Amino acid sequence: MKPIIFSTPMVQAILDGRKTQTRRVIKPQPVKDDTFEGPYWYEPTVVNKDGELGPGKSVFGISSTDGEWGIKSPYQPGDILWVRETWATVSSGIIEYKATYRDPYTGSTEIDHIGKKITWRPSIHMPREAARIFLRVTNVKAERLQDITDEDAIAEGMSQILVDGVVFISAQGDFHVFWDALNIKRGYGWDTNPWVWVIEFERITKEEAERLEGIAC
């Protein structure tokens, strides 16, 4: 079972059933190299555990200098993922999650019922034992970021913005803004059009995740 981090808005989209895709930057970025010393830009290849063409591991390109397969996705079809999200232990000793926390008395998202400010902990520090969301990867592919369609952007949890019944911002445009807010400072903004892994998933229960993990072992 592998961890995967999602921002608070994307956790909310998963819980609402609106998000079934996520895009992650391919690292290192594939670059076309006419000297054949680096991974090609060409079509992603799917190989099985024995290195033969067929269902199994998703990789991108090859390095022809040594015959090794190229860049492999960190997530593979069939992988079980547990979601890391922003969390905290409130005064009652109960774990709460920023995406859904509301104080039962005041409705506050930042103050608990005894008036104490909640110290939200970064998602990267969440232990597996605190996870409440589990996913099963159904498909992985590689593409350029700007190849995303409106349909895919909706599967990413985005939505159209309408003004007087007319599309003012498309789901793709919504994704563009959201992506840049997270990635432009990292050097992978929309305008750089990086290669990304497109990871499709379905939400499953904790019990199902543990059962599937047991089968895999």
Alpha-carbon gap, residue 176 to 190, rounded angstroms:
6
Is residue 75 in some structural domain? no
Compute the distance between CA of residue 56 and CA of residue 142 in angstroms, rounded to an integer: 15
Range of the domain at 97: 87-121
Is 106 among the domain residues? Answer: yes
Compute the CA torsion angle 25, 27, 33, 37 (nearest 10 deg).
Answer: -160
Is the distance from CB of 70 to CB of 39 less than 8 angstroms? yes
pTM: 0.81
Token readout for 73 is 């996705």
pLDDT tens digits, residue range 27-63?
877 765 554 444 444 444 444 445 444 433 445 554 4
Amino acid identity, position 44 = P
Whether residue 134 is contained in a domain is answered as no
Q: Is 92 domain-assigned?
A: yes
Q: Does residue 176 fall inside a structural domain?
A: no
Residue 74 covered by a domain: no
Q: Does some domain include residue 172?
A: no
- Whole-Å CA distances, 129 to 73, 84, 87, 103, 139: 25, 10, 12, 23, 26
Strands 57-63 and 68-72: antiparallel
Each residue of 182-204: pLDDT tens digit?
999 999 999 999 989 999 999 99
Q: Indicate the number of domains in the chain.
A: 1
